[in-house]
Amino acid sequence: YIGLYTLVVIGVVLLTGVAGLTSFGQAAFVGIGAYTAAYLNLNHAISPWLTVFVGLALTLASALVLAALTLRMSGHYLPLATIAWGLSLYYVFGNLDGLGRYDGLTGIAPISFFGLPLNSGRRFFYLLWALVLLAALGAINLLDSRPGRALRALNGGATMAEAMGVNTLRYKVTVFVLAALLASLAGWLLAHYQRTVNPSPFGLKMGIEYLFMAVIG
């Protein structure tokens, strides 16, 4: 679970710690990845290695829509907007019959790697931490690049960054989408590790806890 949470929190560090955009809704993106994997695997017997890409595509689309609606806001309005859509997605998960309502979905197949099912914590450990390390290295390389310096400039306010020729809205959308995709990947892993999904890990409480993890970490 430390590894699963770390994937989400790397995105929160980029979004909030570096770019200065506070979001309480990252748990909802975890839910999109988890429910996509669970629904497609249970109802259409699609391999986990394919459901991950569908989940990432759905997350990308939803993140772009939410970014267009909320990232032009500033001050307290942005965090309040993330609370609103985070709660909305939580109640969508809990009220759709196809997603099992608040009871959720059970019996999800484990991820298999060359015919070996990763159905124990020891087997799952290696895939999970390989992905966490790749995400961490990717974040470090991003922050050491020219776009990374532009992201760091956002934290000091948009005016100075725009004066230096930085397209602040584009970089805000980019880091928002990256954080959402990392959360969705964690959701895919969570669904196939627990082999059951229900709305409780995807509410506002977990969104706040992810922020605490980033701050304390």
Query: Are the CB atoms for 8 and 59 separated by under 8 Å?
Result: no
End-to-end CA gap in the chain = 15
In angstroms, rounded to a whole number, what is the distance separating the alpha carbons of residues 149 and 2?
A: 29
Mean pLDDT of the chain: 89
Is residue 192 within 8 A of residue 48, CB to CB? The reply is: yes
**Has residue 162 got a pLDDT over 80?**
no
CA distance 148 to 14: 9
Query: Would you say residue 101 has pLDDT above 80?
Result: yes
Of 82, 43, 59, 80, nearest to 178 by C-alpha is: 59
Query: What is the predicted pLDDT for the residue at 62?
Result: 93
* Least confident residue range of 95-99, 102-106, 118-122: 118-122
The answer, yes or no, to whether residue 157 has pLDDT greater than 70, is no
pLDDT at 78: 81
Q: Identify the pLDDT of residue 52.
A: 94
Q: What is the pLDDT of residue 175?
A: 92
The residue-averaged pLDDT of 46-56 equals 93
Q: At what angle do helices 77-95 and 204-216 cross, to 10 degrees?
A: 130
Average pLDDT over residues 36-54: 92
Segment 21-45 mean pLDDT? 92
